[in-house]
Amino acid sequence: MGTAERKEREKESRKESIIDAAQKVFFEKGLLLATMEEIAEQAELAKGTLYLYYKSKEDLYLTVMIRGLNILCAMFESIIAEPMPFIATLVRLIDAYTTFYEHHKNYFRMLHFFQMPQFHKQVSDEMKEAGRQVDSRLWNIAIAQLKRGIREGKLRSDIDPAEMAIIFWSNTTTLLLRIDSQLDFWKDRMNVDLQHTLKVSQTLMLESVLTEEGKKEYREFIYSEMRNR
Amino acid sequence: MGTAERKEREKESRKESIIDAAQKVFFEKGLLLATMEEIAEQAELAKGTLYLYYKSKEDLYLTVMIRGLNILCAMFESIIAEPMPFIATLVRLIDAYTTFYEHHKNYFRMLHFFQMPQFHKQVSDEMKEAGRQVDSRLWNIAIAQLKRGIREGKLRSDIDPAEMAIIFWSNTTTLLLRIDSQLDFWKDRMNVDLQHTLKVSQTLMLESVLTEEGKKEYREFIYSEMRNR
DNA sequence: TACAGAAACTGACTTCAAGTCATTCATTCA
DNA sequence: TGAATGAATGACTTGAAGTCAGTTTCTGTA
């Protein structure tokens, strides 16, 4: 008889529906202002029940965040699944991260809120490991592509691909974070358009790691992209 | 009679000694784990007294943070006070930020913890403005130097100096943050030395914004630095 | 169908920390 | 000296995370 299996499924879907509720509340209020009471209400459960499924508020938060990481991961995976010249893939990957920010701002914010080590006190080890898993997947995709670029002679071979990945990622991340929270400050007080700064920064980075051949392909790519509009 | 003045001074020194206490506790525990009770104890005062001098825990935190910003500012100012060729000044400024991280880790952490917009709910407007003041001073120093570099033909004139400043700062900041919190992760799981990554990143950035003349001066500078060791 | 035991759920309660405020204490100066 | 002002106190209020003894619901068996 499949009772045990059904129960198992019900338990899973209960877990999911708690996450749905938590996501709604976290998106609206952020980690600090969200309350377990409110999440419980949203999930139509009592507060105590939440703790049968998740160890702490932070655990809930991390679980929602992992959803976001998975979306980003899926975006990356669908890009590398399409066979394309290296430069096209690389540019798509870089753009995908910006697109992720634009389409999933709430997840993006959660992601980077959680980077702060200060929060990790309440997170269970399983959750941390789960997060690291998705994280590794992302890095591996990026690093594999950069290795391909080196192999094909498009990227400088004297720079470690993992280092390149970190540099690209860091660069884009901080600028997106600033765009998210300080866009007006920079526009009004410093007369700087951060969106433009992001573009400049990415171009500078790219040009500094491409070989001559890579640069040529990059210029051709940009040119053909422009004609396609 | 100087009674009023003396009282004023006493009040100031009380404010200072509260900050001393707060700093000690925040350095040890961070914003989240520090308690007002503990700060009060450290300051040998009752909790309520703290609120006569500071509006909230966050206000206290920001005040300590501003001390850190001022230290960094002073470091920058003493560098630009010395007359030096442009490249030397630029390299010193960049290095100063890393030195600041190394010598004042606690301040550095506070600085970046506070970047997160989530925390600003409790901070009084005066404090925010005070923070912005110091921040502006830092940016102005950086931007002024980059303008000098452009004027002297060492930096590309097609890139806005404010944008350059943001790009440099962002780049270095995220890498230092990672060095601070994920050094071992990258070493062990990805076999990457983030200290080295930081150097690589800074060199790439520099080379991509320097003119030919600037690059020449940079190479000479590096060479002479090496000989001086 | 009745019922015992297991599983799921509940919400009042405990704990802890931020922030408040009526009261107490200290200082000044007329 | 003592009234008035200002500084300091700590018990109290508030609010939220997390707990757990008790209640309800479900399940498999007689």
What is the rounded CA–CA span in Å between residue A91 and residue A80? 11
B182: which residues sit within 8 A by CB, 6+ positions away? B194
Position A31 pLDDT exceeds 80: yes
Position B122 pLDDT exceeds 80: no
Distance B131 CA to C23 C1' (A): 37
What is the rounded CA–CA span in Å between residue B147 and residue B160? 9
Is the CB of residue A45 less than 8 Å from the CB of residue A18? Answer: yes
Question: Within a 13 Å sphere around the CA of B223, how many CA atoms are in the beta-carbon half?
Answer: 6
| Nearest by Cα to B72 from B114, B101, B92, B31 | B101
Residue nearest to nucleotide C7 (CA to C1'): A7
What is the rounded CA–CA span in Å between residue A153 and residue A1? 60
Chain A residue numbers with beta carbons less than 8 Å from the beta carbon of B136 are: 189
Distance B49 CA to C24 C1' (A): 14
3-state secondary structure of A45: coil
Cα A191 off chain centre by: 29
Q: pLDDT by residue (tens digit) across B53-67?
A: 999 999 999 999 999
Give the H/E segment covering residue A198.
helix A194-209
> Which residue type is seen at A144?
A
Secondary structure string (H, E, C) spanning B160-183: CHHHHHHHHHHHHHHHHHHHHHHH
Q: What is the phi/psi pair of residue B25, to 5°?
A: -70, -45
Question: Within a 13 Å sphere around the CA of A80, how many CA atoms are in the beta-carbon half?
Answer: 19
| Nearest by Cα to A138 from A171, A102, A168, A116 | A168
Any A CB within 8 A of B46 CB: no
Is the CB of residue B146 less than 8 Å from the CB of residue B155? Answer: yes
Q: pLDDT by residue (tens digit) across A59-73?
A: 999 999 999 999 999
Q: pLDDT by residue (tens digit) across B184-229?
A: 989 998 999 999 999 999 999 999 999 999 999 999 999 999 998 7
Residue nearest to nucleotide C29 (CA to C1'): B3
Of B119, B121, B167, which is closest to A201 when you measure between CB atoms? B167
Q: What is the pLDDT of residue A120?
A: 65
Q: What is the pLDDT of residue B112?
A: 85
Q: pLDDT by residue (tens digit) across B83-107?
A: 999 999 999 999 999 999 999 999 9
